Amino acid sequence: MNSASDSGLPRPTPDARRPTVQSDARRPTIQFHFNVEHRLLYACRVVRKALAAGKSVLASTRTADRLARFDAALWTFSALDFVPHVYADSTLAARTPVLLAPDAASAPARDVLLQLDDDAPPGFAQVFSRFERVIEVVSRDDDDRSHARVRFRAYSDAGLAPESHKVAE
């Protein structure tokens, strides 16, 4: 599915009734990857692809268990790939391309934010402005899809123009 940015066409302007992102803030590309079978495993592949493209990544969720499971998945999802990653408070963070953090707002910015929370982060417009791209991964689970629709609407209402990509795994 082509997005407006893929086709060379300008992005649609936000509805005048909606609050907009401040003009001095950088406007990231926000992509929702829908219909994935395993959310964390797919997220690992997103990170691997970003690294292959020379991009740094911040993976964030306020759910400690989910962050720990993602950390473990990065170590085990592929026998052939090593994804260098540390928690954002590590002394190695400045030299590591992939950071894991419970709070994207207080973590160092990277090229890509992989947003793994069920809810939009507090102050998301300000947080997202620190990144070139924000990626949301959404499984086939009904609850996950419902939460994603709420986030998508919140981002749209803030004038951020999220894009939807249906994944065929």
pLDDT in tens, 117-162: 999 999 999 999 999 999 999 999 999 999 999 999 999 999 999 9
pLDDT on residue 139: 96
CA distance 33 to 46: 10
pLDDT band at 169 (very low <50, low <70, confident <90, very high): low
Residue 27: per-residue pLDDT: 83
Number of neighbours of residue 61 by Cβ within 10 angstroms = 25
Average confidence score pLDDT of the chain: 87
Let me know if 6 is exposed, middle or buried by CB neighbors in 10 A (0-12, 13-18, 19+): exposed
């030299």: which residue's tokens?
A: 95
- pLDDT score for 62: 95
- How far is residue 28's CA from residue 111's CA, in Å, rounded to a whole number? 10
The pair of structure tokens assigned to 81 is: 């790939």
Query: In this structure, is residue 7 part of a structural domain?
Result: no
Distance, CA of 60 to CA of 151 (rounded, Å): 15
Domain that holds residue 71: 26-166
Report residue 168's pLDDT band, with 50, 70 and 90 as the boundaries: confident
Digit-coded pLDDT (tens) for 110-126: 999 999 999 999 999 99
Phi, psi of 151 (to 5 degrees): -65, -45
Residue 79: which CATH number? 3.40.50.10110
Q: Is the pLDDT of residue 4 over 80?
A: no
**What is the number of alpha carbons within 13 Å of residue 149 lying toward its C-beta?**
8
What is the number of domains present in the chain? Answer: 1
* Any domain includes 71: yes
Residue 115 belongs to some domain of the structure: yes
In a domain, 30, yes or no: yes
